[in-house]
């Protein structure tokens, strides 16, 4: 199994935490422009898909392989190609279970086999904007910002309270920093267009623009 993975250093580090099974070779590259040199790869991961303005025309010529893209805010219908979406937000690739979505069941078995080489189990979820975990965590972060707006407490105190009171690995503001506030704001803004419960805090939007 030969995988070609477009990723930054943090994403590479997170994936390698799981180890790689024998018989799997990974070519790590920084941009899809380098894909032409790896035409023999069995599968492609573009973990910079949603966070980059790079040319994605490679999708048209690569779909004979299984192509994974990190696309939390974009559905497969919006992407326009039968890719496999994976939740590649910072921190999520550390987990042994990955949220993935596809619209063609014929891709599932191949995708599960590929992820197994990376010691990652596929958790199939609907092809909806935001998957599941990003939606939940974005809402937690948003509520924390509403509390901050109302002067309930400080960022540090809210983080401490949530870690001690709920056993979260990070406080909501720590989470926002790790994931990237622009990602959070983008997802909440997209979801709020049809579901007002996702309306983002004004303070969150302000800080996301800074």
Could you tell me if 113 and 16 lie in one domain?
yes
Residue 112: CATH number of its domain = 3.40.50.720
Could you tell me if 78 and 113 lie in one domain?
yes
Could you tell me if 149 and 58 lie in one domain?
no
For the ranges 18-27, 58-67, 74-83, 133-142, the lowest mean pLDDT is seen at 58-67
Over residues 108-132, the pLDDT tens digits come to 999 999 999 999 999 999 999 999 9
Per residue in 100-139, is it b (16+ CB within 10 Å) or e — as a string? bbbeeeebeeebeebbebbebebeeeebebbbebbbebbb
Could you tell me if 22 and 95 lie in one domain?
yes
Q: Which of 68, 98, 124 is the last residue of a domain?
A: 124
Question: What is the dihedral angle through the alpha carbons of 199, 200, 206, 209, rounded to the nearest 10 degrees?
Answer: -100
Residue 176: is its pLDDT beyond 90?
yes
Could you tell me if 104 and 204 lie in one domain?
no
pLDDT for 29 equals 94
Q: Which of 107, 124, 141 is the last residue of a domain?
A: 124
At CB < 8 A and 24+ separation, what contacts does 129-132 make?
A: 129/72, 129/73, 129/74, 129/75, 129/187, 129/190, 129/191, 130/72, 130/73, 130/187, 130/190, 130/191, 131/72, 131/85, 131/87, 131/99, 131/101, 132/99
Residue 139: CATH number of its domain = 1.10.1040.50
pLDDT for 80 equals 87
Could you tell me if 144 and 80 lie in one domain?
no
Q: Which of 69, 92, 124 is the last residue of a domain?
A: 124
Reference 141, options 88, 196, 178, 104; nearest CA is: 178
Could you tell me if 17 and 99 lie in one domain?
yes
Number of domains in the chain: 2
Reference 183, options 204, 159, 162; nearest CA is: 204
Range of the domain at 81: 2-124
Residue 209: is its pLDDT beyond 80?
yes
Could you tell me if 63 and 14 lie in one domain?
yes
- Residue 121: what are its φ and ψ, rounded to 5°? -95, 135
**Using CA atoms, how far apart are residues 179 and 88, in angstroms rounded to an integer?**
10
Could you tell me if 96 and 77 lie in one domain?
yes
Residue 51: band (very low, low, confident or very high) from pLDDT cuts 50, 70, 90: confident
- Residue-averaged pLDDT of the chain: 93
Q: Please report, rounded to a whole number, the percentage of residues in the chain having pLDDT higher than 90.
A: 80
Residue 179: band (very low, low, confident or very high) from pLDDT cuts 50, 70, 90: very high
Could you tell me if 33 and 113 lie in one domain?
yes
Could you tell me if 25 and 111 lie in one domain?
yes
Residue 63: is its pLDDT beyond 80?
no
Could you tell me if 105 and 6 lie in one domain?
yes
pLDDT for 53 equals 78
């Amino acid at each position: 199994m030969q995988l070609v993975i477009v990723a930054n250093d943090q994403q590479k580090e997170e994936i390698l935490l799981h180890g790689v099974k024998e018989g799997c070779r990974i070519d790590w590259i920084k941009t899809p422009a380098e894909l032409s040199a790896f035409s023999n790869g069995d599968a492609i991961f573009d973990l910079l898909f949603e966070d980059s303005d790079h040319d994605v025309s490679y999708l048209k010529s690569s779909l004979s392989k299984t192509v994974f893209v990190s696309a939390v805010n974009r559905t497969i219908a919006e992407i326009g190609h039968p890719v496999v979406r994976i939740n590649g937000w910072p921190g999520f690739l550390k987990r042994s279970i990955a949220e993935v979505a596809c619209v063609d069941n014929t891709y599932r078995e191949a995708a599960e086999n590929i992820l197994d080489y990376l010691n990652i189990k596929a958790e199939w979820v609907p092809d909806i904007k935001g998957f599941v975990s990003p939606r939940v965590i974005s809402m937690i972060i948003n509520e924390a910002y509403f509390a901050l707006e109302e002067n309930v407490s400080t960022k540090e105190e809210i983080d401490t309270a949530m870690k001690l009171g709920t056993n979260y690995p990070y406080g909501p503001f720590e989470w926002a920093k790790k994931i990237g506030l622009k990602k959070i704001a983008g997802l909440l803004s997209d979801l709020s267009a049809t579901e007002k419960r996702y309306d983002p805090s004004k303070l969150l939007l302000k800080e996301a623009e800074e």
